[in-house]
Amino acid sequence: MAIIESPTARATTEFASFGAQPDIDGPGMAALVAWVDEVAALTQPDRIHWVDGSAEENAALLEQMVADGTLIKLNDEKRPGSYLARSDEGDVARLESRTFISSEREEDAGPTNNWVAPAEMRATLRPLFEGSMRGRTMFVVPFSMGKIGGPISQLGVQLTDSPYAVVSIEIMTRVGDAVTELIAEGKPWVRTVHSVGAPLRDGEEDVAWPSNDEKYIVHFPDTLEVWSFGSGYGGNAILAKKCYALRIASVLGRDQGWMAEHMLLIRVLDPQGRAYHVAAAFPSACGKTNLAMLRPTIPGWKVETLGDDITWIRPGEDGRLYAINPEAGFFGVAPGTGESTNVTAVETLWGNVLFTNVALTDDGDVWWEGLTDEAPDHLIDWRGDDWTPDSGRPAAHPNSRFTVSAAQAPSIADDWEEAVPLDVILFGGRRATNVPLVVESFNWEHGVFLGSTISSERTAAAEGKVGELRRDPFAMMPFCGYNMGDYMAHWLEMGGKAEKLPKIYQVNWFRRGADGRFLWPGFGDNSRVIDWVIRRLQGEAEAVVTPIGLIPAPGSLNLDGIEVPQEDLDELFSIDPDAWLEDADLTEEFYSLFGDKTPAALRAQLDALRTRLKAAKD
Ligand code: GTP
Ligand code: SPV
Ligand code: MN
C-alpha cells in the first residue's frame, strides 16, 4: 500500500524508503486510516509518514534533525549515539494553566482541573489545527504502554508534526508495526494528536524548535482523545506519558477498577534476599528517578529499578494489588544528577541519550549543575550562549532532561516489564518544615488520608513560582483526569479490592534546619528509611505512636556509618501540634473544594487527627 491518499499527501524524498502505510489488514485498520485521513485533511501536512519503529528509520530521523539544526550530535567518543536539543525559551516545562479536561460534565473534571465543554473546546481547537502542519511531515506513531500484547497494556496512536516527539516516544514507549497489527486486529486504542503549531509557508525557513505562543493540552475523557497544540516539550508533547498513561488512564481506572499513579516502582532485596515491592508517589522533580535507582548505603541491601514515573495498579487474583510500569524509558531531571547523588543514573546515561536543555561542553559532551562538583571553565548554556562559572546563571535549565531507554539502567530488574505484587506505598513531597522523615499510617484509610494531604514546594517541572507551597494530593494534582473528590473515593474503594493491602507511609527527604540546610543526607541514605519500613513489615523494627502516625522508635533507624547529629534527628522527627493543627485547617479548606465528593471517611480521619493533636497539647 502506498502513502495514504489525503488531499495533501505527497511522497517524501528524504525518507524514500520509510513512511509508507504498512501493509497490515484487519477489521480495525479502516478506522485508523480514516482517522489519519481526517486529521491530515484538517492539519494539511506536506507528507504523512507511518512510523514502523525500525532502527534504520530512527537513525534517518535523527540524521535529518541534525541536518535541520533541531539536534546537535554529541561527541561519539564521549557520549555515543547521543543528541542535544535546545527548546524555545518559552517552551521549557509542562503547562498546567494550559492543560484542560474536557469532560461532558464539569463536575467530572472537578475544581482542580481546567474545564471547558467539549463542543466549545473543539470549536476553539479546530481553527488552531487547521493547516497547522503545513510544510511539515505528519508522523503516525502507533505505541503501546506496557509491553506489546501484554495482558494489561494499552494502545494508542500519536499523530505529530514533531520528529523530536517521534524519537522521544520511541524511547518512552514501544512503537511500531507490531502495535499497528494489534490495532488492525481490533484492539482498543486511544487517539492523540499533537502539533507544534508552526506551519511553514512555501520556502519559509524552519527554526530549531518550532512552537506556538498559544498552547493547549486538551483531554477528552469521554471519547478517549488527547489534542495538544503549540508545545514540543515533555509531558506536553509525549502524549503517551502524562496525558494518556495518567490523565486518560486514571479515568479508565476509575471505570474499570484499577489505578494510574504518578509513582516510581522498585524491588528491594533485604540482606536475606527477600524481595519487597515499593511504589512511591512524589510530585514532579521531587526524587522519583532518584529513588528508582537507589544505591543503598547500608550493606546487604539491593534495589532493582522497575519504573521511575508512572505505575498502574490492579487487584490480582491472589488478593494482592499488582503494579506495573507502563513506560519504556526515563524522561528524567538532569540537574542534581551526579556521581554523589545518583551514580546509577550517570551510568545509565553513557550513550544513546536524547538530552534537552542541558549545557554543551567544548569537547561536545554535556554538563549540568550537579553532574560534577566543579563546573567546566567554559560551556555553551541551554540557550546557546557562552557560559563561564561566573556568569551568574545556571548553564542547564532547572527542568532540563535526559530521555533514555529503561533497559539501559544497570539497576533494571530482569522482569521489569511484568506486574509485581505491591508491599509498600510511599507518599512524599518537598517540605522544608513540619513533615517528619518518615511516618507510618495506622491503616489503609489513614494512609489514603496521608496521600490526600500531600503538599510540596513547587519545582521547575511546571510553570509557576518555584518554592511556593501547594497541595499535591497523591502527587496527582496535575495528572488526575477526573474529579479529585471521586479520585479520593476511588483510593478508598481500592482498599476493598484486595485482602492483603500494601502498607502506606509518608516520607520527606527535604526537611531543613533553621540555617536552611537539609537535615537528612538523602539519596543513597534514603535506603535507611526503606530498611526501617521493610523491617516494620517483618515485625522487626520498633515504632512509637504520635498524633500523626507511627515514627521510628529511638535507635530503630539504622544510622551505622553516617553522622547525623542528635539535634538534627530530633528536628527531623519533631511534630509541632500547633503547626499541624494549622495544616489541618488548610486540609479542611482543601476538602471543602470538593463539597459532597470529599469522602466522609477522609473527613473522619481529619477529625480524628485534630482530636489526637489537641490531646497531645494538653
Ligand atoms: P519528574 O520526572 O518530574 O516526575 O521528577 P522525579 O520525581 O523523578 O525527580 P528526580 O528524581 O529526577 O529528582 C529531582 C531533583 O531532586 C534532583 O535535583 C535531585 O538531585 C533531587 N533529589 C532527589 N532525591 C533527593 C534527596 O534524597 N534529597 C535531596 N536533598 N534532593 C534529592
Ligand atoms: C513531570 O513533570 O512529572 C515529569 C516530566 O515527569 S513531564 O513528562 O514533562 O511531565
Ligand atoms: Mn513525573
> Are 305 and 451 within one domain?
yes
Ligand 2 center from residue 294 Cα (angstroms): 20
Domain that holds residue 238: 13-71+98-256
Ligand 3 center from residue 319 Cα (angstroms): 29
**Residue 591, SS3 per DSSP:** helix
Which pTM was predicted? 0.96
The pLDDT of residue 562: 96
Cβ contact 47:59 at 8 Å: no
Determine the residue of 236, 262, 284, 286 to mutate for testing ligand 1's pocket, defined as the one with the most ligand atoms within 8 A of the Cβ atom. Answer: 286
Neighbours of 366 (CB within 10 A): 26
Sign of the torsion angle spanned by Cα atoms 525, 527, 531, 533: positive
- Strand-pairing partners, residue 372, are 369
Buried b (16+ CB within 10 A) or exposed e, 592-612: eebeebbbeebeebbeebbeb
> Are 18 and 109 within one domain?
yes
**What residues does ligand 1 touch, defined as CB less than 6 Å away?**
282, 284-290, 308-309, 332-333, 335-336, 341, 461, 509-510, 518, 522-523, 526
> Are 319 and 178 within one domain?
no
DSSP-derived secondary structure for 137-184: EEEEEEEEESSTT-TT-EEEEEEES-HHHHHHHHHHSEESHHHHHHHH
Q: What is the pLDDT of residues 506-546, one digit of tens each?
A: 999 999 999 999 999 999 999 999 999 999 999 999 999 99
pLDDT band at 13 (very low <50, low <70, confident <90, very high): very low
Ligand 3 center from residue 308 Cα (angstroms): 8
Residue with cell 495533501: 8
> Are 273 and 217 within one domain?
no
- Strand-pairing partners, residue 314, are 322
Closest ligand to Cα 287:
1
Nearest CA to ligand 2 atom 1: 284
Q: Is the pLDDT of residue 326 over 50?
A: yes
Closest ligand to Cα 288:
1
Cβ contact 281:429 at 8 Å: no
Give the mean pLDDT of 277-297: 98
> Are 316 and 337 within one domain?
no
Q: Is the pLDDT of residue 329 over 60?
A: yes
Neighbours of 521 (CB within 10 A): 15
Closest by CA position to 510, among listed 498, 500, 523: 523
> Are 312 and 282 within one domain?
yes
Neighbours of 276 (CB within 10 A): 20
> Are 46 and 134 within one domain?
yes
Give the mean pLDDT of 263-271: 98
Domain boundary among 358, 387, 406: 406
Cβ contact 135:169 at 8 Å: no
> What's 356's domain CATH number?
2.170.8.10
- Strand-pairing partners, residue 427, are 281, 506
Q: Is the pLDDT of residue 219 over 70?
A: yes
Catalytic residue set: 286
CA of 338, closest atom in ligand 1: 20
Cβ contact 311:409 at 8 Å: no
Nearest CA to ligand 2 atom 10: 235
**Average pLDDT score, the chain:** 96
Ligand 2 center from residue 563 Cα (angstroms): 34
Q: Is position 61 within any domain?
A: yes
Q: Is position 502 within any domain?
A: yes
CA of 461, closest atom in ligand 1: 3
DSSP-derived secondary structure for 363-378: TS-EE-BTTBSS--S-
State the cell numbers at 217: 493540552
CA 328 to CA 262: how far, in whole Å?
Answer: 15
Half-sphere exposure of 554 (CA within 13 A, CB side): 4
Closest ligand to Cα 310:
3
Q: Is position 21 within any domain?
A: yes
Closest ligand to Cα 308:
1
The pLDDT of residue 15: 55
Cβ of 241 less than 6 Å from ligand 2: yes
Determine the residue of 290, 330, 368 to mutate for testing ligand 1's pocket, defined as the one with the most ligand atoms within 8 A of the Cβ atom. Answer: 290
| Residue 204: C-alpha distances to residues 161, 289, 394 (Å) | 16, 41, 33
Q: Is position 2 within any domain?
A: no
Determine the residue of 331, 333, 354, 470 to mutate for testing ligand 2's pocket, defined as the one with the most ligand atoms within 8 A of the Cβ atom. Answer: 331
Q: State the total domains in the chain.
A: 3
Q: Is the pLDDT of residue 9 over 50?
A: no
Give the mean pLDDT of 133-154: 97
Ligand 1 center from residue 307 Cα (angstroms): 14
> What's 243's domain CATH number?
3.40.449.10
CA of 282, closest atom in ligand 1: 7
Determine the residue of 87, 91, 92, 94 to mutate for testing ligand 2's pocket, defined as the one with the most ligand atoms within 8 A of the Cβ atom. Answer: 94
CA of 262, closest atom in ligand 1: 4
Cβ of 284 less than 6 Å from ligand 2: yes
Q: Is the pLDDT of residue 2 over 70?
A: no
Domain boundary among 240, 256, 272: 256
Nearest CA to ligand 2 atom 7: 235
- Strand-pairing partners, residue 471, are 455
> Are 338 and 308 within one domain?
no
Q: Is position 397 within any domain?
A: yes
**Residue 438, SS3 per DSSP:** strand
CA 219 to CA 103: how far, in whole Å?
Answer: 8
Closest by CA position to 351, among listed 607, 598, 81: 81
Residue with cell 490492579: 314
Nearest CA to ligand 1 atom 32: 287
Q: Is the pLDDT of residue 3 over 60?
A: no
Half-sphere exposure of 166 (CA within 13 A, CB side): 30
> What's 511's domain CATH number?
3.90.228.20
Q: Is position 151 within any domain?
A: yes
> Are 569 and 527 within one domain?
yes
Query: What residues are neighbours of ligand 3 (ion), with CB under 5 Å?
Result: 284, 309
Q: What is the pLDDT of residues 379-409, one digit of tens each?
A: 999 999 999 999 999 999 999 999 999 999 9
Give the mean pLDDT of 557-562: 96
CA of 333, closest atom in ligand 1: 12
Cβ of 247 less than 6 Å from ligand 2: no
Q: Is position 90 within any domain?
A: no
Cβ of 234 less than 6 Å from ligand 2: yes
Percent of the chain with pLDDT over 70: 97
Ligand 3 center from residue 281 Cα (angstroms): 9
Give the mean pLDDT of 58-83: 97
> Are 555 and 610 within one domain?
yes
Cβ of 197 less than 6 Å from ligand 2: no
CA 267 to CA 46: how far, in whole Å?
Answer: 47
Task: Give me the count of residues in the chain.
Answer: 618
Cβ of 461 less than 6 Å from ligand 2: yes
pLDDT band at 1 (very low <50, low <70, confident <90, very high): very low
> Are 427 and 402 within one domain?
no
Ligand 2 center from residue 94 Cα (angstroms): 7
Domain boundary among 375, 406, 437: 406
Determine the residue of 284, 290, 466 to mutate for testing ligand 2's pocket, defined as the one with the most ligand atoms within 8 A of the Cβ atom. Answer: 284
Q: Is position 88 within any domain?
A: no
Nearest CA to ligand 2 atom 8: 235
> Are 420 and 549 within one domain?
yes
Give the mean pLDDT of 313-317: 97
Give the mean pLDDT of 474-483: 98
